[in-house]
Amino acid sequence: MAHEPQHLPAVHEAWLPREHPLHRPRHGGKQLTALIGALVFFVTPTLLWVFGVRPSEIENHALAGFPSVSDGWAFFTGLPTWATDQLSFRTGAIDAADGISRGVFGEPLPHDQGGTSNSGPLPGSPPPANGEVPGPGVSSGPTDQAGYRQVIEGTNGWLYYGIDAESKCTPTRPLADTIARIQQVRNLVLSSGRQFVWVVPPDKSTMVPQFLPSSYPGKDCQQAAEAPTWARLDAAGALDLRPELRVIAKQLNRPVYTPTDTHWTDEGGLSLTRNVAEAVQPGVTRTWQSPAIGTYTGSADLPKLLGKSGTKTSVLYNLLPDGLTNRAGPIVTEIETPAVHTAAPITGTVDKKTLVYGDSFSIASSRYLTGAFSDVTLLAYSTTKTTPAQAVDQFVNSQVVVLETVERSVSAGALPFFDNGFIDQLRTALAQHPLR
């Protein structure tokens, strides 16, 4: 007997009896709610923009742009990031959530918990000559480690960069290995007939520990490692600015770091410049004058890592190498490619072609470095815009190499030029182009 062909029921699955194997409940109400929610989330930024409301950058990155339809599926995956960044009321929402967390649980909103980023916060630097606030820069750090904080909240409104602690507690390589590699670079430079200066700006937590909280992730191992770290750096011949910075802080009756930024104030930049110049050409700073000319206020970097905004204020100085002529220049905000500055030599300037191979503390000091050296090139060692071969060329084209590495990067061993390919290229190039 022939079987009749099976057909689907003539009614929608949602209308079948619940015991029927093809029954499927209707989710129209929930689906409609989800669609309305998504529509509001994506359309609200556009409507607010039409009525003149603009979002602001409250985190350590530029606001995401609207994704392009030519990106394929990336158009859809990029929409949430764009919509989140464009929410003009996001700052208020974060502040409200933080207030609730503090009021109910007695602790700040854990916005940054779960490991820190390899990239550093925005650099603390004076504004350029036109008064605009400088753009962001980068500094290297250790690999993410769960449990550490990007920002450590201290007392009296002081904030600290969490990588200061993390770098000493979970370094990517032993400190002895880090120093040995830097010594290798130094020996290559010196054997080629060039001068070499290594300067290490101290972490804010090293110089201003009095506002650190009583407890935070990594406190014990950070404090235990600090003295041995500096003993090894001193033994290795690194310029130690800590004693002079302490004297300056005592004279000013305030720290040389600001509460909400991880970088030092302009007094630190002047100290670095003066010590490096003396190391290159002893006695060159005898005629220097550096009068204060006012204050400036810029964007602070640490609040951005908490999804907030904040400012920092510093005293601005002129630099008169000969005691008469101001040579302090505009801040150099872009050093991911070689930033060259030249000026006619005068009394009190170092007249040797100098490379400053550094990080965001070089940016924070650049106003004074360009005033003290008549021919100076600033270049970041952590960059993808300059190839290792191009960086090696800058070594070759210099008479003096200044290596500037902030304490946390040395502690972490997170220095990109340690790559054997770079060191091998440097060895070959300097051997082929010695200075005699």
pLDDT at position 55: 61
Q: Judge whether 94 lies within some domain.
A: no
Query: Rounded distance, CA 359 to CA 120, Å?
Result: 10
If one compares 179 and 35, the residue with the highest pLDDT of the two is: 179
Q: Judge whether 144 lies within some domain.
A: no
High-pLDDT (> 70) share of the chain, %: 67
Beta bridge partners of 159: 153
If one compares 432 and 78, the residue with the highest pLDDT of the two is: 432
Contacts of 13 (CB under 8 A, 6+ apart): 22, 23, 24
In this model, does residue 60 exceed pLDDT 60?
no
Other C-beta atoms lying within 10 Å of the C-beta of residue 56: 10
Q: What is the DSSP string of 112-125?
A: TBS---SS------
Query: Rounded distance, CA 160 to CA 150, Å?
Result: 8
Q: Judge whether 82 lies within some domain.
A: no
Once rounded to an integer, what is the mean pLDDT over residues 348-358?
98
Query: Rounded distance, CA 63 to CA 85, Å?
Result: 6
Query: Rounded distance, CA 46 to CA 88, Å?
Result: 10
Residue in this structure with the two tokens 């650190």, named with its chain if needed: 212
On whether the CB atoms of residues 319 and 271 are closer than 8 A, the answer is no
Q: Judge whether 138 lies within some domain.
A: no
pLDDT at position 36: 75
Q: Judge whether 16 lies within some domain.
A: no
Lay out the sheet containing 375-380: strands in order across.
239-240, 195-200, 400-404, 354-358, 375-380, 339-342
If one compares 199 and 73, the residue with the highest pLDDT of the two is: 199
Query: Rounded distance, CA 15 to CA 155, Å?
Result: 64
Question: pLDDT digits over 268-285, tens only?
Answer: 999 999 999 999 999 999
Q: Judge whether 413 lies within some domain.
A: yes
Looking at the structure of the chain, the number of domains it has is: 1
Question: Number of helices (H) and strands (E), helices first, in the chain?
Answer: 13, 10
Q: Judge whether 84 lies within some domain.
A: no
Gyration radius of the chain's alpha carbons: 28
Output the pTM of the full model.
Answer: 0.72
pLDDT at position 104: 47
Query: Rounded distance, CA 191 to CA 204, Å?
Result: 35
- Domain containing 291 equals 151-432
Integer angstrom CA distances of residue 74 from 78, 122, 261, 430:
6, 28, 35, 46
Question: pLDDT digits over 61-105, tens only?
Answer: 556 666 766 666 666 666 666 666 655 555 555 555 555 444 544
- Ramachandran sector of residue 323 (left: φ over 0; alpha: ψ -120 to 50; beta: rest): left
Mapping DSSP to helix (H, G, I), strand (E, B) and coil, where does residue 153 land? Answer: strand
Q: Which of the four pLDDT bands, split at 50, 70 and 90, describes residue 436?
A: confident
Q: Judge whether 263 lies within some domain.
A: yes
Structural tokens at position 65: 């742009």
In this model, does residue 3 exceed pLDDT 70?
no
